[in-house]
Chain A
Amino acid sequence: AAGVIQSPRHLIKEKRETATLKCYPIPRHDTVYWYQQGPGQDPQFLISFYEKMQSDKGSIPDRFSAQQFSDYHSELNMSSLELGDSALYFCASSLDTAEQYFGPGTRLTVT
């Protein structure tokens, strides 16, 4: 069965640079979620999209933005990167249910 795809899997950036993370949800899933997991921490909700519209927003910095495109893939754009942005970024998708399927994550390292 198709799973959630995230790219890249690993990303190394320097402070003040920009990063773009991509998420391809399971086909026909209409909701995409982004979570951030810092080292040794639990995943924290950033933002979600339902049918290409932002549906909820969590503790996402103003330096971050995201969108969902017509093909339902989503991108998380991160600007003016800080050391504290180093984390594992997960994308999840769902279809009309509360069950979310997670991708393998993108590990972002800011140096």
Chain B
Amino acid sequence: AQSVTQLGSHVSVSEGALVLLRCNYSSSVPPYLFWYVQYPNQGLQLLLKYTTGATLVKGINGFEAEFKKSETSFHLTKPSAHMSDAAEYFCAVTSKRGTDKLIFGTGTRLQVFP
């Protein structure tokens, strides 16, 4: 079975500050990990993914995440927050089988203050 835990349902940062959104996973098989962003009343946009290879993954809009197997974590970071980063962020896990469903975390709402 697979699951994802996102610590902190709400995170607030000042514009220009570091963004850190936490995600821990549980998986009995090697996982594929994803971060999605959802703006109000919109769909899910893929920010970045970890499948195999390099454990530090760079995504769109300056975000990156590092897969740490020993810590079963896949935290999302961005060095400098921008007002446009305010959104809901979902961490998700699936297996490597390729046709498996995504299991989502409960989401973290990021607020960015000027």
A and B assemble together: yes
Contact yes or no, B95 A98, CB < 8 A = yes
Contact between B98 and A94 (Cβ–Cβ < 8 Å)? yes
A55 to B104, CA, bound (A): 19
**How near does chain B come to A55, taking the closest CB pair, in angstroms?**
6
- Count B-side interface residues using an 8 Å CB cutoff: 26
In the assembled complex, the CB of A100 is this many whole angstroms from the nearest CB of chain B, namely 6
B46 proximal to A (CB < 8 A): yes
User: Are A97 and B102 in touch, CB under 8 angstroms?
Assistant: no
Bound Cα distance A97, B44 (Å): 18
Which residues of chain A (61-111) have a CB below 8 Å from chain B? 90, 92, 94, 96-105, 107
Interface range on chain A: under 10, 10 to 19, 20 to 34, or 35 or more?
20 to 34
CB-defined contacts of A99 to chain B, threshold 8 Å: 34, 46, 49, 51
Interface of chain A: mostly helix, strand, loop or mixed: strand
Q: Which residue of B lies closest to A47 (CB)?
A: B101
Given contacts A43-B90, A98-B51, A99-B49, contact A90 B44 (CB under 8 A): yes
Please pick, from A55, A97, A105, the residue contacting B43 in the complex, using a CB distance under 8 A.
A105
Is A90 a contact partner of B43 (Cβ separation < 8 A)? yes
CA distance A33 to B97 in the complex (A): 15
CA distance A94 to B100 in the complex (A): 10
Q: Does B103 make an interface contact (CB < 8 A)?
A: yes
Contact: B102 with A100, CB < 8 Å?
Answer: yes
- Taking the closest CB of chain B, its distance from the CB of A94, in whole angstroms, is 7
B90 touches A56 (CB 8 A): no
Which residues of B7-53 have CB atoms within 8 Å of chain A's CB atoms?
Answer: 32, 34, 36, 41-46, 49, 51
- B73-102: contact bitstring with A at CB < 8 Å (1 yes, 0 no)? 000000000000000001000111111111
